[in-house]
Chain A
Amino acid sequence: MGAAERLDSDELVVNRNEVEIRIENLGVSFPDKDGGEPVIALQNINLDIMQGEFISLLGPSGCGKTTLLRTVAELQQPTSGKITVRGQSPREIRLKKKYGIVFQNPVLLDWRTVRRNVCMPMEMMGIPKKDRTARVTKMLELVGLMEFGKKYPHELSGGMQQRVGIARALAVKPEILLMDEPFSALDEFTKEKLHEDLLRIWKKTNKTILFVTHNIQEAVFLSDRVVVLSPHPGRVSAVVDITLGRPRDLSIKSSPEFNAMVTKVRNSFESL
């Protein structure tokens, strides 16, 4: 598929019974700086993430949840085991831009307007300007920033900056959206609004979303499944199916079912 046609094609075909990301016996360790024993960040991780699934990696700091996400993004090399995305290696999907990534900080370029920030990944692919402009407009509409295209990042609030980050990640029509604690720096009100919007965007675009968080409520509200990780060494200690119906809105947060799920996830920590 050429660069130009990519944006024309229809949204992704998703079969929720097929595996999107397969993680097999994955281990990641970092060499110790003082030459001692290497630090084991992840050990023996096995996980299948289905197409179109919203999955959260949940755990305390040091459990390797971010490392796991970074390994999928090929920002980190595995020490053992492997990751395949529809049969392809993380390197292949990175080079083909099949994932979009949203970091904890928005990581916007200060000298570019909102529009040109969203546009940047498409510039890298050599997509013609006309198609880029149309796509940027569509993306800004999706994240609700239509009026802010000409603004510079410093003129936006933290929540808006993170919306720009999401628009940028989605601009090249990736199959997968990787999100590394994207809302952890935001206040509660902004966060809740973004949760709802993220679910709407997810539904509309059929992405597979891998979402890293240390917030139990956030994980339960958003996800189809919550992968609970525990530290030293980082490993999967439980996978909890979130059986809440969809679509979800903020009102379910006060429902007994929601609280039951949160308790269930919390208990899976306490039993560690």
Chain B
Amino acid sequence: MNKVKKALSSSKIVTFVWVLGMIGVWELGAATIARSKRTPENVLPHLYQILESIFSHKLVNSTQTALQIVLSNAGITLLRAGIGFLIGIMIGYLLALFMSLFTAVEKMFFPYLMIIQMIPILGMAPIILAITKDIDNSRIVIAAILTFYPVATNTLAGFKSVEKEKHELMYSIAATKFQIYTKLLIPSSIPYFFTGLKISAPMAITASILVDTLQGGGGLGCMLSQSLKHAMTIYVFWQIVFVSALIGILSYFLMTVIEKVLSPYKRATKVKKR
């Protein structure tokens, strides 16, 4: 009994059971729908059908297979999300720095930052489009807007989390304000900064896909809506579902890897209190 308990609590087993369970539920649904609907692939195709479409050599438009379409458009979306993400990081970080340096800036901006965050992307998109007058740029801007808030708030929280004793140490060795930031606050806030990045990286990608659906010009969202409108095979849609989920998860792991490389000391012990 205990052995079973132990085996079940190991994270690999848990993941395995989850994946297995999800495949089971999916296939059960697909089998039910295959019996009741005329075009079951529009509602829920079998997983093997999606796999088949991935490896199929059949051209779905004049030049590309389904997989080629998905991957090339994934590249376009990733590029936009990436640029927006980088801009968002820069703005978010600078904002956190300014808010930490000047209390007045924090009081002025902080409450309103949250409001920007509360506007749904699809409500914001037309406004941004009207301002930038370019769908490509507005996709980047929206990815940036979604990125900057988690980065700014988490980094600011990182600056504020530094213990009083460490500030006193810096004071006792007569550190300048510049030194306090470069040698204490900025290194201390790195784990918080990365928490912000881990939240916002998948968000930037989601936003980019969502805004894609509004207008043409390529991108995963664009293909997704075309596929849903039956302008091309529905399997493009199903592939995009999986590819975008994968990209989102990978973006999170990429941040984790970058963090590990940048901080050689172990984070786990930071939490431990003496």
Interface residues of B in 152-191 (CB under 8 A from A): 163, 165-166, 168-169, 171-176, 179, 183-184, 187-188, 190
Encode contact with B along A145-168: 1 for CB under 8 Å, 0 otherwise: 000000011100010000000000
| A32-40, A94-102, A211-219 - interface stretch | A94-102
**Interface size, chain B (Cβ < 8 Å):** 25
B263 near A111 (CB under 8 angstroms)? yes
Q: Give the contacting residue for A107; candidates B166, B190, B269; CB below 8 A.
A: B166
Q: Could you tell me the distance in whole angstroms from the C-beta of A177 to the nearest C-beta in chain B?
A: 12
| A78-86, A119-127, A258-266 - interface stretch | A119-127
B175 near A124 (CB under 8 angstroms)? yes
Q: Give the contacting residue for A154; candidates B169, B171, B190, B266; CB below 8 A.
A: B266
A110 near B174 (CB under 8 angstroms)? no
A120 near B165 (CB under 8 angstroms)? no
B166 near A110 (CB under 8 angstroms)? no
Q: Give the contacting residue for B165; candidates A105, A121, A158, A185; CB below 8 A.
A: A105
Q: Could you tell me the distance in whole angstroms from the C-beta of B166 to the nearest C-beta in chain A?
A: 6
Encode contact with B along A61-90: 1 for CB under 8 Å, 0 otherwise: 000000000000111000000000000000
Judge whether B16 is part of the interface by a CB distance below 8 angstroms. Answer: no
Interface residues of A in 169-192 (CB under 8 A from B): 172, 185
Interface residues of B in 225-274 (CB under 8 A from A): 263-266, 269-270, 272, 274
A107 near B169 (CB under 8 angstroms)? yes
Given A95-B174, A158-B274, check contact A107 B179 (CB 8 Å): no
Q: Specify which chain B residues have a CB less than 8 angstroms from the CB of A111 in the assembled complex.
A: 187-188, 190, 263-265
Given A105-B165, A111-B265, A152-B265, check contact A120 B274 (CB 8 Å): no
In the complex, A95 Cα to B172 Cα: how many Å? Answer: 8
Most buried by A among B190, B272, B274: B274
Q: Specify which chain A residues have a CB less than 8 angstroms from the CB of B190 in the assembled complex.
A: 111
In the complex, A109 Cα to B274 Cα: how many Å? Answer: 14
Interface residues of A in 211-238 (CB under 8 A from B): none
Q: Could you tell me the distance in whole angstroms from the C-beta of B59 to the nearest C-beta in chain A?
A: 53
A110 near B269 (CB under 8 angstroms)? yes
In the complex, A75 Cα to B172 Cα: how many Å? Answer: 7
A120 near B183 (CB under 8 angstroms)? yes
A101 near B169 (CB under 8 angstroms)? yes
B184 near A109 (CB under 8 angstroms)? yes
Encode contact with B along A125-145: 1 for CB under 8 Å, 0 otherwise: 000000000000000000000
In the complex, A74 Cα to B30 Cα: how many Å? Answer: 73
A120 near B173 (CB under 8 angstroms)? yes
Q: Specify which chain B residues have a CB less than 8 angstroms from the CB of A154 in the assembled complex.
A: 265-266, 269-270, 272
In the complex, A103 Cα to B165 Cα: how many Å? Answer: 8
Q: Could you tell me the distance in whole angstroms from the C-beta of B7 to the nearest C-beta in chain A?
A: 31
Q: Specify which chain A residues have a CB less than 8 angstroms from the CB of B188 in the assembled complex.
A: 109, 111
Q: Specify which chain A residues have a CB less than 8 angstroms from the CB of B172 in the assembled complex.
A: 73-75, 94, 99, 101
Given A110-B265, A110-B270, A111-B263, check contact A97 B173 (CB 8 Å): yes
Q: Specify which chain A residues have a CB less than 8 angstroms from the CB of B272 in the assembled complex.
A: 154
Q: Specify which chain B residues have a CB less than 8 angstroms from the CB of A101 in the assembled complex.
A: 169, 172
Q: Could you tell me the distance in whole angstroms from the C-beta of A1 to the nearest C-beta in chain B?
A: 15
Which residue from chain B places its CB closest to the CB of A165 in the assembled complex?
Answer: B169
B169 near A105 (CB under 8 angstroms)? no
Q: Could you tell me the distance in whole angstroms from the C-beta of A145 to the nearest C-beta in chain B?
A: 17
Q: Could you tell me the distance in whole angstroms from the C-beta of A188 to the nearest C-beta in chain B?
A: 17
23 A-B contact pairs sorted by A residue (CB < 8 Å): A75-B168, A75-B172, A94-B171, A97-B174, A101-B169, A101-B172, A103-B169, A105-B165, A109-B166, A109-B184, A111-B187, A111-B264, A111-B265, A120-B173, A120-B183, A124-B173, A124-B179, A124-B183, A152-B264, A152-B265, A152-B266, A153-B265, A158-B274
19 more A-B residue pairs beyond the given contacts A111-B264, A185-B274, with a C-beta to C-beta distance below 8 A: A73-B172, A74-B171, A74-B172, A94-B171, A94-B172, A99-B172, A103-B165, A103-B168, A105-B165, A105-B274, A109-B183, A109-B188, A110-B270, A111-B263, A111-B265, A120-B173, A121-B173, A123-B183, A124-B175
